[in-house]
Amino acid sequence: MTIRIAEKKDFEAIKKLVKAHAKFEKASALSDHNLDKLSNYIFSTDVVKCLVVELNNEIVGYATFMKQFSTWDANYYIYLDCLYLNEKTRGKGIGTQIMNKIMVYAKSINCSEIQWQTPNFNKEAIEFYEKLGADSKTKERFNWKI
């Protein structure tokens, strides 16, 4: 198994995982246009980083993250936007390895915190994050389409 930065050749597999992730989180389906934009952001900009998990020549998971700024902390942090593993790879320690890779990256760019969110119905993810020692803050997330 390898956890590495995504390459353009991985994008078809990433698209399938992104769609499965959206379905799992009961989100609306992603349009082809948005998937094309995602590809551009991952491979043609420095806005978002994408890790993939490759197992037996198959991409079985991904994580996307980016550097953000906290006004209250007056400091930068890493925002983990997505972490998803297909069902057959969950519970094998791969998520912890992904989080550790992101932690190493965060430290390399002087970020001392990683933040993320998960739906309150995703009990397995919540248990996983608690085992990592992460703190939880209850907030409502709002979306304002403009």
pTM reported for the whole predicted model? 0.87
Q: What pLDDT, in 10s, does the model give residues 125-143?
A: 888 888 888 887 776 767 6
Residue 141: the pLDDT is 67
Amino acid residing at 107? K
Contact 114, 104 (CB under 8 A): no
Which pLDDT score, from 0 to 100, does residue 121 have?
85
Question: What distance separates the 2 farthest-apart alpha carbons in the chain?
Answer: 44
DSSP 46: S
> How much is the pLDDT for 144?
66
**Can you list the domains of the chain with their CATH numbers?**
2-132 (3.40.630.30)
Cα(81)–Cα(23) distance, rounded to whole angstroms? 16
| pLDDT computed for residue 2 by the predictor | 97
Contact partners, residue 102, CB within 8 Å, separation at least 6: 51, 63, 65, 78, 80, 114
| 106-130 pLDDT tens trace | 999 999 899 998 888 878 888 888 8
Q: What is the pLDDT of residues 18-50, one digit of tens each?
A: 999 999 988 887 888 999 999 999 999 999 999
Smallest CA-to-CA distance from 18 within 68, 59, 55 is with 59
Residue range 43-77, pLDDT digits in tens: 999 999 999 999 999 999 999 999 999 999 999 99
Hunting for tokens 């760019």 — which residue is that?
109
The two structure tokens encoding residue 138: 């209850």
| Backbone torsions φ then ψ of 130, nearest 5 degrees | -65, -40
Query: Do residues 78 and 115 lie in contact, with contact meaning Cβ atoms separated by under 8 Å?
Result: yes
